[in-house]
Amino acid sequence: MAMIDIRQLVKRFGTFTAVDGVSFSVERGTVLGFLGPNGAGKSTTMKTITGFLAPTSGSVSVCGFDVEKAPLEAKRRIGYLPEGAPTYPDMTPAGFLDFIADVRGMTRAQRTQAVAGAVERVELGAVLHQPIETLSKGFKRRVGLAQAILHDPEVLILDEPTDGLDPNQKHQVRRLIASMAADKAIVISTHILEEVEAVCTRALIIGRGKVLAEGHPAEGGWRFGDLVAAPGRMDALFRRITTGASDLGEAA
Amino acid sequence: MTGTLSVFRRELAGYFATPVAYVFIVGFLLLAGIFTFYVGGLFERGQADLKPFFMFHPWLYVVMMPAIAMRLWAEERRSGTIELLLTLPVGLGGVVLGKFLAAWAFTAIALALTFPVWITVNLLGDPDNGVIVASYIGSLLMAGGYLAICACLSAATRNQVVAFVVGVVVCLLFTVAGSPIVLDAVAGWAPSVLVDALASFSFLTRFSAIMNGVIDARDAVFFASLIAVWLFANTVVVDANKAG
Ligand SMILES: Nc1ncnc2c1ncn2[C@@H]1O[C@H](COP(=O)(O)OP(=O)(O)O)[C@@H](O)[C@H]1O
Ligand SMILES: [Mg+2]
């Protein structure tokens, strides 16, 4: 059974179609990358998977539960990092994570254990009792990540998890994602091509609400349909697929 | 249900996490005191009851309840945490209820802290404490009505100040709906059914009955259903506005 199954997903805002007939599924052990220019519909797709927005048409199911018909069952199995990692600024990471664990129905003992585990994974120990608003961007992002992995979810949806972080922090987050990949289905969105090569096992290039191409590692690089990009040379291929430009020096 | 309780606890603790809560409670007590002793003339009246104290509650609430409720949803929308909150495994109704109950509990705490006023009249004379208890219950019920209105309005904007201002205006309308000025103005042109309906929505009219010591079941039902209707509207408004 696919952990995430999306069929013919359409999401309109008024007359504007942000997601236009997207279908795909994600198995356990997969890290799927959403690649695409700004405004492509990556975040909107993620918001419907997590049940924040209702699809205009089509269906989304998570671990076999339809997100519209059984929202709570689906939401229990999802960990979600929204774009920009919003958190409550006047809370401390300790208080915030305890609140999330509490909403997720954990007992006091479970909460203590879950928070300790997540804090260790994202290395948050040093700032645990400092108001979140006083933390650096890197730490704020880690608080958001800790919140998402707190209940050891089967499905992880991470919207631009490394956006705005410095290279070391990016590396840490990617290592964290890779370390959790084996027993989860993970979807990350990014517009950084090297990130796809670093952590993803599959990628969808999304543009104007549609899946434009699907790719996976092959021949030492990445193959999208009949196009292959050598390691570190995905950008020309990305431009070609998303804009139709043909400056395709190294992709053959 | 567990989700509702967690939201309730977080929101209530949130009120006390900043000095705002204390400024609030002190302000509330000061205003209550000024209204009661100076404007209402508790001492001069030579009568041991708390009528002057309770009489000003509707007017106090017109300003205080929008201030207590303005943050509830506007802030979640502004900071984007609404996306976090509504993707946790709690129903929207549960979150709406948890937030409302936290604001109401905070109000109950502020109201309970006015007990020195009660002690004072008992030292000065021999008031009917049954009437006072009824008035406290009625006042809290009425506060719940104002809060439910303001919580709903808070979900219609990302800006707390806007939520506050609109809240004050709408609360004022509900307060004065049955006053002679409004009714006379409307009676000139509107059918009497409408005038009666308008009068029946007046918080002031309902509450003055309660202040006389009788909690009429109809008044209790009025406030309870008013709260229910506005909380339902709250879920609709959140749902309609959460995307943008
Ligand atoms: N609430 C909304 N109302 C109207 N349009 C929206 C809303 N949310 C997103 N959009 C539009 O939908 C498109 C896709 O947005 P989004 O999914 O955030 O893109 P991405 O995450 O790929 O950058 C954009 O053009 C955006 O302006
Ligand atoms: Mg986005």
The 10s digit of each residue's pLDDT in B102-144 is: 999 999 999 998 888 888 888 878 888 888 898 999 999 999 9
Q: Quick check: B123 contacting A, CB < 8 Å?
A: no
Alpha carbon A79 to chain centroid, angstroms = 9
Q: B142: helix, coil or strand?
A: helix
Distance A38 CA to ligand 1 centre (A): 9
Q: What is the pLDDT of residues A91-150, one digit of tens each?
A: 999 999 999 999 999 999 999 999 999 999 999 999 999 999 999 999 999 999 999 999
Average the pLDDT over each of A147-151, A179-183, B214-218 and give the range with the smallest value.
B214-218
Residue B151 pLDDT more than 50? yes
Using the structure block, give the residue that is written with the tokens 């543009």.
A207
Sign of CA dihedral B145, B150, B151, B153: positive
Q: Domain locations in chain A?
A: 1-77+155-169+179-252, 84-152
Per the CB < 8 A criterion, the answer to whether A47 and B83 are in contact is yes
- The span from the CA of B219 to the CA of B137, in Å, is 12
With vertex at residue A238, the alpha carbon angle to CA A233 and CA A242, rounded to the nearest 5 degrees, is: 165
Is residue B183 scored above 90 in pLDDT?
Answer: no
The pTM assigned to this predicted structure is 0.92
- pLDDT of the residue at A82: 97
CA–CA separation, A192 and A38 (whole Å): 11
Domain A1-77+155-169+179-252 in CATH: superfamily? P-loop containing nucleotide triphosphate hydrolases (3.40.50.300)
> How many other CB atoms are there within 10 angstroms of residue A167's CB atom?
8
Minimum-distance ligand 1 atom for the alpha carbon of A44 = 17
Distance from CA of A103 to the nearest CA of B (A): 5
A28-32, B13-17, B191-195 — which is least confidently predicted? B191-195
The neighbouring-strand residues paired with B8 are none
Between the alpha carbon of residue B64 and those of residues A160, B143, B147, the distances in Å are 41, 9, 9
Confidence at residue A187, expressed as pLDDT on a 0 to 100 scale: 98
pLDDT tens digits, B69-106: 999 999 999 999 999 999 999 999 999 999 999 999 99
- Say if residue B39's pLDDT is above 80: no
What is the spatial distance between Cα A27 and Cα A4, in angstroms, rounded to a whole number?
7
Q: Smallest Cβ distance to A105: which of B2, B79, B243?
A: B2
CB of B243 shorter than 6 A to ligand 1: yes
Q: Inform me whether the pLDDT recorded for A250 exceeds 70.
A: no
Question: B45 in contact with A at a CB cutoff of 8 Å?
Answer: no
Show me where the domains of chain B are located.
2-243
Q: Is A74 exposed, middle or buried (0-12, 13-18, 19+ CB in 10 A)?
A: buried
Q: What is the pLDDT of residue A246?
A: 54
- Contacts of A10 by beta carbon, 8 Å cutoff, 6+ apart: A17, A19, A20, A21, A22, A55, A56, A57, A58
Closest Cα partner for A79 from A4, A191, A164? A4
What are the pLDDT digits (tens) for A48-79?
999 999 999 999 999 999 999 999 999 999 99
Mean pLDDT along residues A234-248? 74
Starting at the earlier edge strand, list the strands of the sheet with A202-207: A78-81, A155-159, A185-190, A31-35, A202-207, A210-218, A221-224, A227-229
Q: What is the pLDDT of residue B40?
A: 63
Q: Strand A210-218 to strand A185-190: parallel, antiparallel, or no bridges (unpaired)?
A: unpaired
In the sheet that A57-62 helps form, which strands lie side by side, from edge to edge? A16-26, A4-13, A57-62, A65-66
Decide: B244 in ligand 1 pocket, CB within 6 A.
yes
Rounded to the nearest angstrom, the distance between the alpha carbon of B155 and the centre of ligand 1 is 21
Determine the pLDDT at residue A251.
41
Gyration radius of chain A over CA positions: 18
A83, two tokens: 């774009």
CA distances from B33 to B27, B147, B172, B225 (A): 10, 22, 22, 31
Is B28 a residue whose pLDDT tops 80? no
Position B48 scores a pLDDT of: 65
Percentage of residues of chain A with pLDDT beyond 90: 78
Whether pLDDT at B176 is above 90: no
Q: How many CB atoms lie within 10 A of CB A246?
A: 8
Enter the ipTM: 0.92
